[in-house]
Amino acid sequence: MSPVDREILRARAYLLRVAEPPAWDTGVLVEQLGPVAAADAIRRGDVPDAVATQTRARRATTLADDDLAAAAAAGVRLVVPESPEWPHWPFSAFTVSGIEELAPPLALWVRGSGDLAELCDRAVAIVGARAATGYGTHVAAELGAGLAAGGQTVVSGAAIGIDGAAHRGALSAGGPTVAALACGPDRAYPASHAPLLERIATSGLVVSEYPPGAVPARHRFLVRNRLIAGMSAGTVVVEAARRSGAQRTASDAGALGRVLMAVPGPVTSAGSVGCHELIRRGALLVTRAEEVREATGRLGIDLADEPEGPRRVTDGLDPVQLRVHDALPARAARDTGWLAVEAGVPLDSVRSALVELERRGLVEHREGRWQRPARTRDEQPV
Amino acid sequence: MSPVDREILRARAYLLRVAEPPAWDTGVLVEQLGPVAAADAIRRGDVPDAVATQTRARRATTLADDDLAAAAAAGVRLVVPESPEWPHWPFSAFTVSGIEELAPPLALWVRGSGDLAELCDRAVAIVGARAATGYGTHVAAELGAGLAAGGQTVVSGAAIGIDGAAHRGALSAGGPTVAALACGPDRAYPASHAPLLERIATSGLVVSEYPPGAVPARHRFLVRNRLIAGMSAGTVVVEAARRSGAQRTASDAGALGRVLMAVPGPVTSAGSVGCHELIRRGALLVTRAEEVREATGRLGIDLADEPEGPRRVTDGLDPVQLRVHDALPARAARDTGWLAVEAGVPLDSVRSALVELERRGLVEHREGRWQRPARTRDEQPV
């Protein structure tokens, strides 16, 4: 990829540090002046009030070079809107939303071998509860694997529970996956997921708006969730309590015009309450990766197969044929007149129905009467 | 209730026996001529072709008096459109549908102490698989009990599995319940449900379009399903395989303009596949009796409470207050200047945020610095 001017990188690194995301007004100033001039104006304090409010507390910090050096040492690079791998199209939804809380990121620290724009193409977010059940983690892993096998990127937040299971599922299918963090891209949070984050970076990306070393704070998880939604064509919620970060991601996905999906579960499980609420409010119920692909994939190409139902020997019979078939007792022979009265069907209709039933091997003719062949006798009525 | 003319009962008993339901054209003739004249015309064979097709095979049967006598002996009565307890309003949907398979019943044999029209007011059907899981029968019983406790009648088909659990749930809450059978109202099908059917008849009703002694046949289950849908303001499917009688009842409910609902379950369970398909096609996901009542009950009165979510000490904080709160380390004291930089919030905003946080007991002021009180330190970020 073509290198980005060092001054732009320094300016964007400075902007990420002084303006705690989401920083709508600062973003607008950057759009107007360009990143270098905007950073200079902020440093001087020569900015509109709204931008001053977002930047006053930290505008004197001079850590851009330190951040870039620390990042390089940790294998982290800064992807900026001026980079070829910036996902302009998916991120345009932030600007279009007009919602301050959904301000577009000013840049992203990323770690890993993936290309951000490529990974955001046909990406799907899988999010859910940290306190997941065995059912939830099983389903998240299956979905992650199924989506990866179908060529889609799985995006999540690297948390324990559903997030981790989704990343692992994608990795198990050999697919790249993207983790968006609420702390610096060089930190492992949770600590127990350090090996998982390493594996994610091998083929995919770990991304963050927060500079190297930044600690996770609660509001950063909520702010980070908008990135997960924004990088993806759709968001699947797998297990969520009623009030949860996953539901916030879901709400962001809706506000960004993305497909919102939820996996149902037992109504007796508190872990599925949030998912059921989302579905009742309009989220698409999904049960399999194919259904997610159909909802997020290419029109007319990524269609889910209908699940197979059981086949019955009587499939395809018309109502009269079915009535005659059912009128015949399981283990006794009857004549056509008896069948007509029992089925309530005229004699000539009984005769033509019997022709078709015999052709299908569902009845046998013997000594002027009809009976069922032995092999079909045990089927239950529906 | 006022007695119905004996000739009308004999005519309708005859019509039920000669015209296998659903018999749209026969019903139209009965509407035109009245039941007595229509029965005479059918007996003579002096009817339009469509009616002749429906009645030719059995028109010579003369079992009306026998059926009425057998019914009386079994505690069964014939409820006809001329009876005060005929549910005219719910059943008008059959006629309005214009669908031959959803022809209105010509009369109903009923057993039990309930009043049919009263029971159909605010009734809800609960249907589902015979091969139900423990989860499904648990949910069906809970729903049945919850609806009965809320004053709604539970309608089902008395089959093993979901149907039986729904009836039992309603009975356990002291509510009346209605079972629609695909055989004569004097028969127990399945045989193991004979005691259940007795209990249903004690406070509710066992109903059937089929004369005393009639055997269950497969097509009769499908035909019976329209009655279950038609007697109810809505139908809830609890567990159904992809192709199932329950889905047929659901489809009938939709065609009759009734509310169609389905209970989700684990996506790993074959028993919930049919429910998930229904929800994906527009059925309302329901998890509790209150949600069913809201969808089928009186407008503005039968509203479901929102389920309670967990409460957090930080509920109600604005975004700046939350950022300041989260910036403070769990176990260290910091001054306002440090908090401003860490939270990325101007100093004056930090000060007003701290006032509110202190008022709520979320921060303490000590020797010029701020810290968290011990009791709030262990909360996890979201």
Taking only the tens place, the pLDDT of each residue in B144-155 is 999 999 999 999
Domain enclosing residue A343, as ranges = 319-376
Instruction: Provide the pLDDT for residue B300.
Output: 56
- Residue at A3: amino acid letter: P
Q: Do A277 and A356 lie in a common domain?
A: no
Q: Do A270 and A326 lie in a common domain?
A: no
Looking at B262, B296, B330, which one is the last position of a domain? B296
Contacts of A7 (CB under 8 A, 6+ apart): A36
SS (H, E, C) chain B: CCCCCHHHHHHHHHHHHHCCCCCHHHHHHHHHHCHHHHHHHHHHCCCCHHHHHHHCCCCCCCCHHHHHHHHHHCCEEEECCCCCCCCHHHHHHHHHHCCHHHCCCCCEEEECCCCHHHHHCCCEEEEECCCCCHHHHHHHHHHHHHHHHCCCCEEECCCCCHHHHHHHHHHHCCCCEEEECCCCCCCCCCHHHHHHHHHHHHHCEEEECCCCCCCCCHHHHHHHHHHHHHCCCEEEEECCCCCCHHHHHHHHHHHCCCEEEEECCCCCCHHHHHHHHHHHCCCEECCCHHHHHHHHCCCCCCCCCCCCCCCCCCCCCCHHHHHHHHHCCCCCCECHHHHHHHHCCCHHHHHHHHHHHHHCCCCEEECCEEECCHHHCCCCCC
CB B111 within 8 A of CB B205: yes
Q: Do A365 and A229 lie in a common domain?
A: no
Residues from chain A contacting residue B288 (CB–CB below 8 Å): 267
Q: In whole angstroms, what is the distance from residue A185 CA to residue A71 CA? A: 8
Instruction: Provide the pLDDT for residue A305.
Output: 66
Percentage of chain A lying above the pLDDT 70 cut = 94
Instruction: Provide the pLDDT for residue A1.
Output: 44
Instruction: Give the nearest partner residue to B346 out of A53, A327, A347, using CB atoms.
Output: A53
Residue among A149, A195, A206, A197 nearest A174 (CA): A149
pLDDT at A262 over 80: yes
Domain count, chain A: 2
Taking only the tens place, the pLDDT of each residue in B299-310 is 556 666 665 555
Lowest pLDDT segment from A70-74, A377-381, B6-10, B292-296: A377-381
Q: Do A292 and A324 lie in a common domain?
A: no
Of the pLDDT bands very low, low, confident and very high (cuts 50, 70, 90), residue B346 is confident
Instruction: Provide the pLDDT for residue B294.
Output: 94
Lowest pLDDT segment from B77-91, B137-151, B323-337, B365-379: B365-379
CATH code, B168 = 3.40.50.450
Cβ of B163 under 8 Å from any chain A Cβ? Answer: no
B327/A217 CB distance under 8 A: yes
Q: In whole angstroms, what is the distance from residue B40 CA to residue B32 CA? A: 13
Taking only the tens place, the pLDDT of each residue in A242-253 is 877 777 888 899
Residue with tokens 């044999």: B109
Determine the angle formed by the axes of helices B245-255 and B218-230, rounding to 10 degrees: 40
Tokens found for residue A247: 């539901």
pLDDT at A380 over 50: no
Q: Do B286 and B366 lie in a common domain?
A: no
Instruction: Provide the pLDDT for residue B381.
Output: 44
Cβ of A222 under 8 Å from any chain B Cβ? Answer: yes
Residue with tokens 């007792």: A329
Mean pLDDT of chain A: 91
pLDDT at B33 over 80: yes
Give me the total of CB pairs closer than 8 Å, taking one residue from chain A and one from chain B: 167
Q: Do B278 and B334 lie in a common domain?
A: no
Q: Do A101 and A246 lie in a common domain?
A: yes
Taking only the tens place, the pLDDT of each residue in B66-110 is 999 999 999 999 999 999 999 999 999 999 999 999 999 999 999
Taking only the tens place, the pLDDT of each residue in A290-308 is 999 999 976 556 666 665 5
Tokens found for residue A321: 């044929």
Contacts of B28 (CB under 8 A, 6+ apart): none
CB A20 within 8 A of CB B343: yes
CATH code, B368 = 1.10.10.10
pLDDT at B208 over 60: yes
Taking only the tens place, the pLDDT of each residue in A136-192 is 999 999 999 999 999 999 999 999 999 999 999 999 999 999 999 999 999 999 999
Look at residue B7 and tell me if it is in a domain: no
Residues from chain A contacting residue B135 (CB–CB below 8 Å): 266, 268
Average pLDDT of span B348-373: 87
Instruction: Give the nearest partner residue to A344 out of B19, B243, B319, using CB atoms.
Output: B19
Name the 3-class secondary structure at A346: coil
Instruction: Provide the pLDDT for residue B327.
Output: 86
Taking only the tens place, the pLDDT of each residue in B212-223 is 999 998 889 989
Looking at B245, B263, B296, which one is the last position of a domain? B296
Percentage of chain A lying above the pLDDT 90 cut = 71
Of the pLDDT bands very low, low, confident and very high (cuts 50, 70, 90), residue B360 is confident
Of the pLDDT bands very low, low, confident and very high (cuts 50, 70, 90), residue B140 is very high
Q: What is the ipTM of this complex?
A: 0.80
Q: Do A230 and A333 lie in a common domain?
A: no
Lowest pLDDT segment from A341-350, B48-57, B176-185: A341-350
pLDDT at A382 over 50: no
Q: Do B368 and B257 lie in a common domain?
A: no
Q: Do A232 and A353 lie in a common domain?
A: no
Please provide residue A117's backbone torsions phi and psi, each rounded to the nearest 5 degrees: -65, -40
Look at residue B14 and tell me if it is in a domain: no
Average pLDDT of span B274-295: 95
Lowest pLDDT segment from A104-108, B104-108, B124-128, B363-367: B363-367
Largest interatomic CA distance in chain B:
107
Q: In whole angstroms, what is the distance from residue B211 CA to residue B183 CA? A: 8
Mean pLDDT of chain B: 91
Instruction: Give the nearest partner residue to A279 out of B279, B323, B382, using CB atoms.
Output: B279
SS (H, E, C) B162-211: HHHHHHHHHHHCCCCEEEECCCCCCCCCCHHHHHHHHHHHHHCEEEECCC
The upper half-sphere exposure of residue B99, i.e. CA atoms within 13 Å in the direction of its Cβ, equals: 14
Q: Do B199 and B327 lie in a common domain?
A: no
pLDDT at B1 over 50: no
Lowest pLDDT segment from A118-132, A248-262, A309-323, B260-274: A309-323
Average pLDDT of span B307-336: 79
Q: Do B288 and B197 lie in a common domain?
A: yes
Look at residue B348 and tell me if it is in a domain: yes
Closest residue in A to B321 (Cα–Cα):
A219
Average pLDDT of span A31-38: 97
A268/B135 CB distance under 8 A: yes
